[in-house]
Amino acid sequence: MLDLLADRATMTAGEIADEFPEMSRPAVSKHLRVLRDAGLVHVHKDGRELYYELDVLPLAQIYRRWLARFEPMWDESLARLKTNVESRTRARR
């Protein structure tokens, strides 16, 4: 659902449910409620419709606080992979 909302500016609960035919509408509503309670989506009402919109700020905070600490390891692993691939390529020549 987060990916779906990332691709579209705003969607109604019904539009979101239509994208997940394998889920019941009450299950989709529960998921949306969890996302709303977690602060990952904003909801605004227009008439009878609830519109959901992704809030990227909490995701950016998670990235900065937790995932970014692994970047040096990723960079190091990629550098080792590059060295390994290049040395195998040279060995085959």
For 11-34, the pLDDT digits (tens) are 999 999 999 999 999 999 999 999
The helix or strand, by DSSP H or E, that contains position 82, with its residue range, turns out to be helix 71-92
Please determine, for residue 64, whether its predicted confidence score (pLDDT) is greater than 90. Answer: no
pTM of structure: 0.67
| pLDDT band per the 50, 70, 90 thresholds, residue 59 | confident
Q: How far apart, in Å, do the first and last CA atoms of the chain sit?
A: 49
Q: How many Å apart are CA 84 and CA 78, to the nearest integer?
A: 10
49 close to 32: Cβ distance less than 8 angstroms: no
Q: How many Å apart are CA 3 and CA 6, to the nearest integer?
A: 5
Give the pLDDT score at 14: 94
